[in-house]
């Protein structure tokens, strides 16, 4: 991975020599501090129990409720660690002050979760919002040093037409795979990363544990994603049937369109992974 990152940096310098700060790049290649940061947002999702349960004999929720809404959420998570000059998984750094800032607006502070992880969600802080087109800076200060990563031009929501049939709900058999095509990006633009998560939902709106996700889970996995992102940029997206194991069950299919960024400060490892994105959500009902 380190070799791939170095080659990518050298290629960028060859293509744009006037814009490439060789000294800064060299420092970032050798930097031992690494940052993984994500800012991901989901919209509100309105679900009609009649539409979801009515056609397959499901039971309506008590109280005659005609619809309910699962609130959207924006969440920021940062991992700060040290590589210690190896290719092993980075070791978390505690005791940092970590914040997120959009277009120079007031910073939103993240709380420490231990082992180098820091987080904040809009459920606990309403000032944490997602702005399409914004430039986000992930900032960490520790032992007198300041580390900054950045994502420019946070993407707009990418609508997946297959997740929004005229009936409002995708109906399919349990254990059946679901495939769809992403729209082509605008001329001159690169396709964003596409993350998929499937979550079961009860008739009262309670969400269970994900049955499927292709989102990396460990810091080292995020670093590998930055080096080799092709698997998350395919036009055709296929969700395996195992993501929908139960019949007569409602699932949310969450598709995150995500743009990557990188380190801004020269004391941050060149392969640091910074991501920001927002989601389109579809409702699936198995029969």
Q: What is the pLDDT of residues 28-86, one digit of tens each?
A: 999 999 999 999 999 999 988 766 765 555 555 455 556 889 999 999 999 999 998 66
DSSP state of 176: -
Q: Are residues 250 and 164 in the same domain?
A: yes
In order along its 287 residues, the chain shows pLDDT tens digits of 444 444 444 444 444 444 458 899 999 999 999 999 999 999 999 988 766 765 555 555 455 556 889 999 999 999 999 998 666 789 999 999 999 999 999 999 999 999 999 999 999 899 999 999 999 999 999 999 999 999 999 999 999 999 999 989 999 999 999 999 999 998 988 999 999 999 999 988 899 999 999 999 999 999 899 889 999 999 999 999 999 999 999 999 999 999 999 999 999 999 999 999 999 999 999 99
82 in the same domain as 16: no
The answer to whether 283 and 45 are in contact (CB under 8 A) is yes
Do 144 and 25 belong together in one domain?
Answer: no
Whether 274 and 140 map to the same domain: the answer is yes
Q: Strand, helix or coil at 225?
A: helix
C-alpha distances (whole Å) from 39 to each of 4, 34, 75, 82, 277 are: 25, 17, 6, 21, 6
Q: Classify strands 273-286 and 33-42 as parallel, antiparallel or unpaired.
A: parallel
Neighbouring CB atoms inside 10 A of 190's CB total 11
Neighbours of 266 (CB within 10 A): 18
263 burial via Cβ count (<10 Å: 0-12, 13-18, 19+): buried
Do 129 and 257 belong together in one domain? yes
Alpha helices of the chain — where are they, by DSSP H?
Answer: 2-15, 22-30, 49-53, 219-227
**In angstroms, what CA-CA distances link 1 with 87, 101, 180, 222, 228?**
8, 29, 31, 12, 9
Q: In Å, what is the CA distance from 16 to each residue of 5, 11, 19, 21, 22?
A: 17, 9, 6, 10, 11
The total number of structural domains in the chain stands at 2
Per-residue buried b or exposed e for 5-33, using 16+ beta carbons within 10 Å of the residue's own CB = beeebeeeeeeeeeeeeeeebebbbebeb
Q: Give yes or no: residues 246 and 152 share one domain.
A: yes
**Maximum Cα–Cα distance for the chain, whole Å?**
67
Do 99 and 11 lie in one domain? The reply is: no
Phi, psi of 117 (to 5 degrees): -100, 140
Q: Which domain holds residue 230?
A: 31-286
**156 and 18 within one domain:** no
Are residue 35 and residue 155 in the same domain, yes or no? Answer: yes
Instruction: Please indicate, yes or no, whether residues 4 and 118 belong to a single structural domain of this protein.
Output: no
pTM: 0.87
List strand residue ranges (DSSP E) for the chain, in order. 33-42, 45-47, 68-70, 73-82, 91-92, 97-102, 108-109, 111-114, 117-121, 136-142, 145-151, 170-172, 178-181, 193-201, 212-213, 236-239, 250-263, 273-286
Please tell me whether residues 121 and 259 are part of one structural domain.
yes
Q: Do 15 and 35 belong together in one domain?
A: no
């Amino acid at each position: 991975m380190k070799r791939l990152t170095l080659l990518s940096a050298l290629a960028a310098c060859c293509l744009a020599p006037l814009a490439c700060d060789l000294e800064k790049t060299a420092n970032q290649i050798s930097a031992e501090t690494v940052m993984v940061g994500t800012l991901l947002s989901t919209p509100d999702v309105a679900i009609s129990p009649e539409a979801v349960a009515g056609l397959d004999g499901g039971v309506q929720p008590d109280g005659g409720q005609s619809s309910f809404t699962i609130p959207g959420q924006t969440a920021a998570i940062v991992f700060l660690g040290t590589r210690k000059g190896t290719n092993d998984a980075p070791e978390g750094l505690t005791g940092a002050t970590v914040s997120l800032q959009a277009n120079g607006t007031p910073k939103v502070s993240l709380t420490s979760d231990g082992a180098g992880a820091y987080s904040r969600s809009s459920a606990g802080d309403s000032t944490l919002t997602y702005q399409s087109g914004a430039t986000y800076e992930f900032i960490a200060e520790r032992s007198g040093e300041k580390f900054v990563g950045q994502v420019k031009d946070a993407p707009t929501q990418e609508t997946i037409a297959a997740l929004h049939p005229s009936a409002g709900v995708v109906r399919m058999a349990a254990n059946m795979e679901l495939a769809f095509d992403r729209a082509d990006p605008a001329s001159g633009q690169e396709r964003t990363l596409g993350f998929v998560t499937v979550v079961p939902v009860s008739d009262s709106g309670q969400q269970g544990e994900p049955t499927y996700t292709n989102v990396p889970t460990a810091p080292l996995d995020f670093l590998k994603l930055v080096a080799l992102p092709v698997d998350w940029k395919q036009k055709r997206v296929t969700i395996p049937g195992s993501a929908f194991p139960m019949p007569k069950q409602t699932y949310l299919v969450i598709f995150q369109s995500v743009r990557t960024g990188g380190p801004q400060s020269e004391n941050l490892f060149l392969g640091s992974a910074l991501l920001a994105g927002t989601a389109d959500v579809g409702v699936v009902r198995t029969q």
